[in-house]
Amino acid sequence: MKDFIAIADYSSADLQAMLDNALALKKELAAGGNKPVLKDKTLAMVFQKPSLRTRVSFDMAMRQLGGDALYLSPAEIGLGQRESIADVARVLSGYVDAIMARVFAHDHVLQLAEWASVPVINGLSDYNHPCQGLADALTILEEFGTLKGINVTYVGDGNNVAVSLLHVCARLGANFTIANPAGYDMPAAALEMGRTFATQSGSSVTVLEDPQAAVKNADVIYTDTWTSMGQEEESKKREAVFPPYQVNAALVAAANGRAIVLHCLPAHRGQEITDEVADGPHSRLFPQAHNRLHAQKAILVKLLA
């Protein structure tokens, strides 16, 4: 694979190899620093949507691997507006070694990949969030030593984060359950793809509306914001629908006693997750956020080293 556009594009063996390398790179950093395997390589970071974690983790990943990263703000490019996506892709391909794009429409990252002659990394689109998915898998792997047979429950909107989480769980043998309100389902094609991967890995995919039933026997409870960027006009409507899906102490108590809680951040505390849970003993929110750095290093090394 030239690009990193979706978890679904990679086999279970490829994903496991990247996770193993992420662990190795994390240990290497802790032991004194990473080898400069990306020396003289430059990553262009194209942003339509702002982000704390995506920008800093990719920037630091390139620096720690001996390369460099160049931030391009929405105002500087105006992807698909000031200049066509095809032209942006071809221009950047002559300047840099890879492009990371954080976009609204998934089609924009697909067009970048089509026209670029250098690797393109999907830093988030409205369809999926594969870099987050790999970091999530890394966090689960560190906690339990495997994903095989681990029960992962996602509570909330069937959004882009849920899609990548489903696909990485199904690829690597974790049992995936989602509880979402009616009308806020994951895209049908993404769900069907997840079911296919689960059949291949011997795991299961379950769709429910009742969050209490969904977290029964869960080893991992995962949630995300009720209203994603670009959906602000729906926020009032969503705030009326999603309160039963809040990850609070009562919901965590209904899960496995060893359950960990994950959230891709930023968290809207008091909405999808309570302070008590986000800052409590089951929370792995900040190790999970830090794992974006290590997972993305593994992606960069696979595409560029």
129 is annotated as an active-site residue: yes
pLDDT of residue 78: 78
Same domain, 138 and 192: yes
138 Cβ contact partners less than 8 Å away, ≥ 6 residues apart = 19, 22, 23, 291, 294, 295
The tens digit of pLDDT for each residue in 188-208 reads 999 999 999 999 999 999 999
CB 26 within 8 A of CB 148: no
What does pTM read for this prediction? 0.97
User: E strand or H helix at 102, and its extent?
Assistant: strand 98-102
The tens digit of pLDDT for each residue in 120-157 reads 999 999 999 999 999 999 999 999 999 999 999 999 99
Question: How long a stretch of residues is the chain?
Answer: 305
Same domain, 184 and 125: no
Same domain, 150 and 75: no
Same domain, 254 and 270: yes
Q: What is the dihedral of CA 194, 53, 27, 260, to 10 degrees?
A: -60
Same domain, 122 and 198: no
Same domain, 176 and 118: no
How many domains is the chain partitioned into structurally? Answer: 2
Q: Which alpha helices (DSSP H) does the chain contain, by range?
A: 12-30, 52-64, 74-77, 85-93, 106-115, 130-144, 160-172, 188-201, 211-214, 235-241, 249-253, 275-278, 285-304
Please tell me which residue in 53, 102, 167, 284 is annotated as part of the active site. 102
pLDDT for 221 beyond 80: yes
Please tell me which residue in 264, 282, 288, 296 is annotated as part of the active site. 264
Same domain, 29 and 106: yes
Note whether residue 2 is domain-resident.
no
Same domain, 299 and 283: no
Note whether residue 98 is domain-resident.
yes
The tens digit of pLDDT for each residue in 56-105 reads 999 999 999 999 999 999 888 878 778 899 999 999 999 999 999 999 99
195 is annotated as an active-site residue: no
Please tell me which residue in 108, 167, 171, 292 is annotated as part of the active site. 292
171 is annotated as an active-site residue: no
Same domain, 198 and 249: yes
The residue-averaged pLDDT of 273-298 equals 98
Residue 4 bridge partners (DSSP) = 121
Please tell me which residue in 169, 224, 246, 282 is annotated as part of the active site. 224
Please tell me which residue in 53, 129, 171, 282 is annotated as part of the active site. 129
Note whether residue 1 is domain-resident.
no
Structural domain boundaries, residue 87: 7-129+292-304
16 is annotated as an active-site residue: no
87 is annotated as an active-site residue: no
- What does the alpha-carbon distance between residue 299 and residue 305 come to, in Å, rounded to a whole number? 10
pLDDT for 1 beyond 90: no
Same domain, 268 and 296: no
Question: Residue 72 maps to which CATH number?
Answer: 3.40.50.1370
- What does the alpha-carbon distance between residue 65 and residue 79 come to, in Å, rounded to a whole number? 28
Same domain, 227 and 182: yes
Same domain, 77 and 58: yes
Q: Give the closest residue to 190 by CA, choosing from 158, 212, 216.
A: 158
3 state SS for 156-197:
CCCCHHHHHHHHHHHHHCCEEEEECCCCCCCCHHHHHHHHHH
108 is annotated as an active-site residue: no
CB 267 within 8 A of CB 225: yes
